[in-house]
Chains A and B, each alone.
Chain A
Amino acid sequence: MKNTAELSLYVPEPSGRPGDEPDFSNVPLQDAGEQRCPDTLTPEIELRDMPYGLVRVLDDDGKAVGPWAPDLSTDHLMRGLDAMVRTRIFDDRMFRANRQGKTSFYMKSTGEEAIGAAQSLCLGERDMCFPTYRILSWLMARDYPMTALGNQIFSNAEDPLKGRQLPVLYSARDYGFYSISGNLGSRLGHAVGWAMASAYRHDDSIALGYVGEGTTAEGNVHEALTFAGVYRAPVILCITNNQWAISSFSGIAGGNRTTFAAKALAYGIPGLRVDGNDFLAIHAATDWARERALGNKGATLIELVTYRAAAHSSSDDPTRYRPKGESEAWPLGDPVERLKQHLIQRGDLTEDGYTDLHEDCEKRVRAAIREAEAVGTLGQSKPSVKAMFEEVFKEPDWRQIEQRRELGY
């Protein structure tokens, strides 16, 4: 039959906008425990169904079910929960601090706390993550001092990055946390290069890089995936699919046509699609990819399906572009609640115990932020202006030296 339709331009639209009912019926789901768990050394060609499923471990009752269920100690899980709870409290307090004018900018990771926490606890001390700005829980899980976070956010005299960087664009090498920049996707290739260097040196450390689903449209993501595939780099490349890139829904990045994990197919690397609000599933999938990388089988792409429960940043108001109540309607629930429920279900935690943990976390966060505030918030305190001219190069050239003098430092 001849196609005689008149051409028309298609522009995708989300399932709802403000005033509509939230609708996630287009998000492909699978029940906990359903997705198969192949051996980590399985040839890629036998893994090509994986990007279309969904690795989930925690069922609706908080029970860990199925072949992906990891064997994790109570202590390990409690560390994860502690990191996630502190991340959420810290985010709330810092968002308020922004509203009070104590910092110019803030970005929360609410709803996505399980990702950084699980992967931070899964990987080793010498592994390096190449984060986005929504991976704070990685640092929390490794007990990065929260006062230092506060100092960075307030750009005060104790700011570990000496006032040079926008709030939340941290760098913490000793905690396996690469320097963040505001350019999207530009560090994914660094993760691949880092991993290739590790392989070149016959080292045993791997790299883990993150981009959001919106950023997968950037050319640099394609470049990084190409290199990762070609050189079998020991790297885990993660797409945190939180459904929204500021006001653009995931369909604007191509998410309506296929899954983001399925992008792996074209590069000849395995793609896993994982419940990003399920601490145990994230941990298990990351461990799978880590083992595979250390077995010299190369890279794995992991799509972490989650939901950005808060605004994009302190400069954003999501009520203007997405339906009210979406966060509550999100079918994969809340990551903190789900891990808590699991620990209760295991008999390792009680509601009272959780209340105590939460209070303890609040206390620690409050004390840390107070300490940072005592040094000073934005405008009250700042690092020496001298620092502005330092580390442009390893050694300054005559321009920095002359200009520093000109400014009077």
Chain B
Amino acid sequence: MNMVQALNSALDVKLEDDPDILTFGEDVGYFGGVFRVTDKLQEKYGLTRCFDTPISEGGIVATAIGMGAYGLRPVVEIQFADYILPAFDQLVSEAARLRYRSNGEFWAPITVRVPYGGGIFGGQTHSQSPEALFAHVVGLKSVIPSNPYDAKGLLISAIEDDDPVIFFEPKRLYNGLFEGRPDDPVKPWKDHPLADVPEDVYRIPLGKARMVREGADVTVLAYGTMVHVALSAIEECGIDAELIDLRSIVPLDIDAIVESVQRTGRCVIAHEASRYGGFGGELSALVQERCFHHLRAPIERVAGWDTPYPHAFEWDYFPGPQRVIDAMQRTQEV
């Protein structure tokens, strides 16, 4: 399965499984979503379990919170991460704090699916990676799969989770592998081992990173599309790097990070989002706090530049494999 099919399969098995689950968002009903993630679900489960909403991200999330407080388990789609900001107040002031402020009387077991990231020539309104905005909010979980197998297992865990989860889907990976080399032909998922996705329910726990590649020289921390960019960079430059796919940034698998960096003594952090105030800053601080005496080189960050996401300069902006290679090499020079 490609990632779209894997996500569709996760929704399908959960809708089948649990009548309290329903899914809605802009164009998700009859049409099956602009990226086809909810394809045929309305046909299969009926109008009340998979339906279209008004163009109102705030309304979508508010409604989901109310349903969640009642006892349902809604899964909503925000069409692009760039459009999630009208729902920011609902996520930050309501979903994230409802359990805490009501002393557990009410909670919001909602999943908010959000296609994010660049590489599709989407300009500033279809390319952003706003995960750091949400990671900073206590009470929200942020999950970011990098392949079809993880996408299904993580989405099922997110749906079953009793806390609000923002589920960032790297849209450049929906239909094929992307290694940050725009001139290469698209690699379909079907040849990838992690595209072998079981039809049934399975779960990947939130907060457990995946060891993509073991190595001795440097630890590379990445998530989403950047996992594949980093892997490609590692393969190209020949540095024996260890690559960790974080899978979720809240909860964060701090143990896996610390164990690896203490072993390699070097750390590169890669994300698409712009650098200043990005989640890489938090990762860098955590590594410094917990691995300082093991570090043999300054921590390196590879990220989008501190500009809005530009249309014509997509490949100047996007942190492609060469920038990852440069960063890894800098850690080796010390």
| Interfacial residues, chain A to chain B (CB-CB below 8 A) | 128, 160-162, 164-165, 169, 171-173, 178-179, 181, 183, 186-198, 200-201, 207, 219-220, 223-224, 226-227, 230, 391-394, 397-398
Chain A residue numbers with a CB within 8 Å of B138 are: 392
| 12 intermolecular pairs with C-beta atoms under 8 Å apart | A164-B100, A171-B103, A178-B69, A189-B58, A193-B70, A196-B63, A197-B66, A197-B72, A200-B48, A227-B63, A392-B100, A393-B139
Say whether, besides A173-B105, A197-B71, A190 and B163 are in contact (CB < 8 Å).
Answer: no
Q: Which listed residue (B22, B48, B103) contacts A391, Cβ 8 A? A: B103
In the complex, what's the smallest C-beta–C-beta distance from B163 to chain A, in angstroms?
5
Q: CA of A391 to CA of B99 in the docked complex: distance in angstroms? A: 6
Say whether, besides A160-B103, A181-B94, A189-B62, A397 and B251 are in contact (CB < 8 Å).
Answer: yes
| B59–A392 CB distance below 8 A | no
Contacts A220-B90, A397-B252 known; list 4 others, CB within 8 Å.
A187-B94, A192-B63, A224-B62, A398-B251
Say whether, besides A230-B54, A394-B162, A189 and B63 are in contact (CB < 8 Å).
Answer: yes
| A186–B59 CB distance below 8 A | no
Say whether, besides A181-B97, A186-B90, A223 and B107 are in contact (CB < 8 Å).
Answer: no
Q: CA of A220 to CA of B69 in the docked complex: distance in angstroms? A: 18
Q: Which listed residue (B56, B89, B163) contacts A186, Cβ 8 A? A: B89
| A194–B70 CB distance below 8 A | yes
Say whether, besides A230-B54, A397-B207, A161 and B66 are in contact (CB < 8 Å).
Answer: no
Chain A residue numbers with a CB within 8 Å of B104 are: 391
Within 8 A of A (CB), among B122-173: 138-139, 141, 162-163
Within 8 A of A (CB), among B245-297: 250-252, 254
Q: Which of B66, B103, B139, B251 has the most CB of A within 10 A?
A: B66
Q: CA of A160 to CA of B105 in the docked complex: distance in angstroms? A: 10
Say whether, besides A181-B94, A186-B94, A391 and B66 are in contact (CB < 8 Å).
Answer: no
| A227–B99 CB distance below 8 A | no
Q: CA of A202 to CA of B72 in the docked complex: distance in angstroms? A: 13
| B94–A190 CB distance below 8 A | yes
Say whether, besides A165-B101, A179-B106, A181-B97, A193 and B58 are in contact (CB < 8 Å).
Answer: no
Q: Which listed residue (B74, B93, B162, B252) contacts A181, Cβ 8 A? A: B93
Q: Does B65 contact A (CB under 8 A)?
A: yes
Chain B residue numbers with a CB within 8 Å of A188 are: 62
| B22–A189 CB distance below 8 A | no
| A164–B101 CB distance below 8 A | yes
In the complex, what's the smallest C-beta–C-beta distance from A55 to chain B, in angstroms?
27
Q: Does B64 contact A (CB under 8 A)?
A: yes
Q: CA of A253 to CA of B89 in the docked complex: distance in angstroms? A: 21
Q: Does B307 contact A (CB under 8 A)?
A: no
Q: CA of A397 to CA of B135 in the docked complex: distance in angstroms? A: 13
In the complex, what's the smallest C-beta–C-beta distance from A408 to chain B, in angstroms?
19
Q: CA of A13 to CA of B69 in the docked complex: distance in angstroms? A: 41
Say whether, besides A178-B69, A193-B67, A391-B100, A200 and B22 are in contact (CB < 8 Å).
Answer: yes
Chain A residue numbers with a CB within 8 Å of B103 are: 160-162, 164, 171, 391
| A207–B66 CB distance below 8 A | yes
Chain B residue numbers with a CB within 8 Å of A227 are: 53-54, 56, 59, 62-63
Q: Which residue on chain A has the smallest CB distance to residue B63?
A: A193
Q: Does B1 contact A (CB under 8 A)?
A: no
Q: Which residue on chain A has the smallest CB distance to residue B101?
A: A165
| A190–B99 CB distance below 8 A | no
Chain B residue numbers with a CB within 8 Å of A196 are: 63, 66-67
Say whether, besides A190-B66, A220-B62, A183 and B100 are in contact (CB < 8 Å).
Answer: no
Q: Does B98 contact A (CB under 8 A)?
A: yes
In the complex, what's the smallest C-beta–C-beta distance from B130 to chain A, in angstroms?
19
Q: CA of A394 to CA of B64 in the docked complex: distance in angstroms? A: 18
Q: Which residue on chain B has the smallest CB distance to residue A394?
A: B162
Chain B residue numbers with a CB within 8 Å of A187 are: 94
Q: Which listed residue (A173, A191, A201, A230) contacts B66, Cβ 8 A? A: A191
Q: CA of A189 to CA of B93 in the docked complex: distance in angstroms? A: 13
In the complex, what's the smallest C-beta–C-beta distance from B22 to chain A, in angstroms?
7
Q: CA of A405 to CA of B162 in the docked complex: distance in angstroms? A: 25
In the complex, what's the smallest C-beta–C-beta distance from A136 to chain B, in angstroms?
17
Chain A residue numbers with a CB within 8 Å of B74 are: 193
| B63–A179 CB distance below 8 A | no
Q: Does B86 contact A (CB under 8 A)?
A: yes
